[in-house]
Amino acid sequence: MSGAASKGLARVLRQAKRPSVPRSRQSQAIRTIHEPIRSFSCTSRRREDTSEPHHDVKYTTDMYPNLKRDPKYADITSDHVQFFKSTLGEDGAVIDGISQDATDDLEGFNRDWMKKYRGHTKLVLRPKSTEEVSKVLKYCNDNKLAVVPQGGNSGLVGGSVPVFDEIVISLGRMNKIRDFDDVSGILVVDGGVILEVADNFLAEHHHLFPLDLGAKGSCQIGGNVATNAGGLRLLRYGSLHGNVLGLEAVLPDGTIVDDLSKLRKNNTGYDLKQLFIGGEGTIGIITGVSVQCPQRSKAVNVAYFGLPSFEHVQKAFKEAKIQLGEILSAFELMDSQSQGFVHRVTGNKRPLEGDHPFYCLIETSGSNTEHDSEKLEKFLEHVMGEEIVSDGVLAENETQVRALWGWREGITEAIGHFGGTYKYDVSIPLSELYKLVEETRERLTSKGLIGDDDSNPALGVVGYGHMGDSNLHLNVPVRRYTKEVEEAIEPWVYEWIQKRNGSISAEHGLGIAKKNYIGYSRSENMIKLMKQIKNLYDPNGIMNPYKYI
């Protein structure tokens, strides 16, 4: 934002009926928000830290005692291991816990980053090419060895870690950017390319990846596509179902599906790639992705507001759509509790003075700074003049933009800092979005499960999410996972969503966490069709078993 434009926006905040932080205090507030923020969502760091205690994480099999290992799957033998070593080589491509003790090396692949799910794998395979993935899968299929595809392992529903002794196939070594056309904006990458690496590469060519996540420093694009990740800017750029132009994938029998199309239009036959987008690795492993990437915006503005009620949040969102229109790239909702946890964990000074029941972060992205700033001025004049917004600050440079985004992107790790988190990623009508948080909080409080001391398992109930997508993240941070909390929430929360014709998973997927609850969002006939597709592609059922459907 230019200096003149920035001063104009600051003037609007000062002159509105309910002014923001006065200019002298606003500068101070903005200065403090870009103090160093604790690193969030760094899965790779967690995996490397083998000194971190892990035996306090329960095995998934202990959490689901009724879930039994399917006897149709073979036990892994030293002969199997020898085949994989001869196929993949000896340079760290095989982490072997069959013929030797490799517990610490395997732990990061066995456990999810939330410390909620933990498997029993004793073998991790790390292929570096699609051909190697093909050889591995064909052998596993022929020998009925169950496998779990794993990217950055940053998922939230236990979909990327084994349940029993399934072989983990890690895509981390498949990390090449294959091709980019800066005229069409089409990028082709390996499935193991880290999202942030791809976006940094695109930035050098004035483009951006059409997906942005808090876990961008560790999540991989193949995993993003396999889970149909939504992210922070779906409002502007749409879903991966629309942005992915082509895929390369390997089926369970080793067949390589080469459909890395670079065409935006191709109306010839079934669009089979859509089955892999959001398929969570249950019908094949995504090894390559072709994606349409938009031009990187030259003018980016970020505003952070405090609001007195959810009704006011809805009014602000409506006005943002009307007045900011084509330049609106994000509208994020955060409640007071979520921001309190971020402040408590990071120690950073809050962007606004005082506490507000709700906060929102608005981002605009365009090509003309003067044009965008003028539209933002008019929007601010309206929402502050009409007392829709109580207080607010604006980022004046890139450092402050990152700092303000930190208050949104830092929520996930902050609330998990104290032990664990029960996470519910739901899509419901916008008018009732926060009602679910309020009723969940009332329910847990009435059962005596929320409190400030260690005798209470839950610390509170937190709500945040994407207003533009009607997507709420309902989170219950806990000191420890307990049956009392889980039984108070499930299946009650799914029944609540079903009554409003919502979705129990807006963007996180099903994994093992929601496998048994898909019926709350999908009809019996739809589930039957899904199972038919699964059986067609994976008749031996080796791909990511015990999950999804």
How far is it, in rounded angstroms, from Cα 158 to Cα 396? 39
CATH of range 74-170; options 3.30.43.10, 3.90.79.10, 2.60.40.2250, 3.40.50.300: 3.30.43.10
407 and 40 in contact (C-beta within 8 Å)? no
- The string of DSSP letters for 245-309 reads EEEEEE-TTS-EEEE----S---SS--THHHHTT-TTSS-EEEEEEEE-PBPPSEEEEEEEEES-
Give me the mean pLDDT over the 131-144 stretch: 99
The CATH architecture to which 299-413 belongs is 2-Layer Sandwich (3.30)
Give me the mean pLDDT over the 149-178 stretch: 97
| Equal fold, 299-413 vs 418-511 | yes
Cβ atoms within 10 Å, residue 155:
27
Q: Where are the domains of the chain?
A: 74-170, 177-292, 299-413, 418-511
Render the burial of 425-448: b for 16+ CB within 10 Å, e for the rest. Answer: bbbbebebbbbbbeebbebbeeee
The CATH architecture to which 177-292 belongs is 2-Layer Sandwich (3.30)
Cβ atoms within 10 Å, residue 209:
29
Cβ atoms within 10 Å, residue 256:
17
Which 3-state string (H, E, C) describes 440-491? HHHHHHHCCCECCCCCCCECCCEEEEEHHHCEEEEEEEECCCCHHHHHHHCC
Q: Is 162 left (phi over 0), alpha (psi -120 to 50) or beta?
A: beta
Give the dihedral sign, CA 292/296/300/303: positive
What are the phi and psi torsion angles at 79 (to 5°)?
-65, -40
pLDDT in tens, 1-42: 444 444 444 544 444 333 333 333 333 332 333 333 322 233
CA-based nearest residue to 458, from 468, 470, 448 = 448
90 burial class (0-12, 13-18, 19+ CB within 10 angstroms)? exposed
What are the phi and psi torsion angles at 403 (to 5°)?
-65, -45
- Residue 144's pLDDT is 99
pLDDT in tens, 416-471: 999 999 999 999 999 999 999 999 999 999 999 999 999 999 999 999 999 989 99
Annotation: CATH topology of 418-511: Alpha-Beta Plaits (3.30.70)
pLDDT in tens, 325-357: 999 999 999 999 999 999 999 999 999 999 999
485 burial class (0-12, 13-18, 19+ CB within 10 angstroms)? buried
pLDDT in tens, 260-277: 999 999 999 999 999 999
**pLDDT above 70: percentage of residues in the chain:** 90
Q: What is the mean pLDDT of the chain?
A: 90
- Residue 91's pLDDT is 78
Residues contacting residue 470 through CB under 8 Å, at least 6 positions apart: 427, 428, 429, 430, 433
Give me the mean pLDDT over the 374-403 stretch: 92
- Residue 54's pLDDT is 52
98 and 122 in contact (C-beta within 8 Å)? yes
pLDDT at 197 over 80: yes
- Residue 55's pLDDT is 54
Give me the mean pLDDT over the 147-170 stretch: 97
- Residue 289's pLDDT is 99
- Residue 23's pLDDT is 31
pLDDT in tens, 503-530: 999 999 999 999 999 999 999 999 999 9
Which 3-state string (H, E, C) describes 81-113? HHHHHHHHCCCCCEEECCCCCCHHHHHHHHECC
478 and 421 in contact (C-beta within 8 Å)? yes
- Residue 380's pLDDT is 87
pLDDT at 71 over 60: yes
- pTM, entire model: 0.87
- The string of DSSP letters for 57-76 reads SPPHHHH-TT----TTSPPP
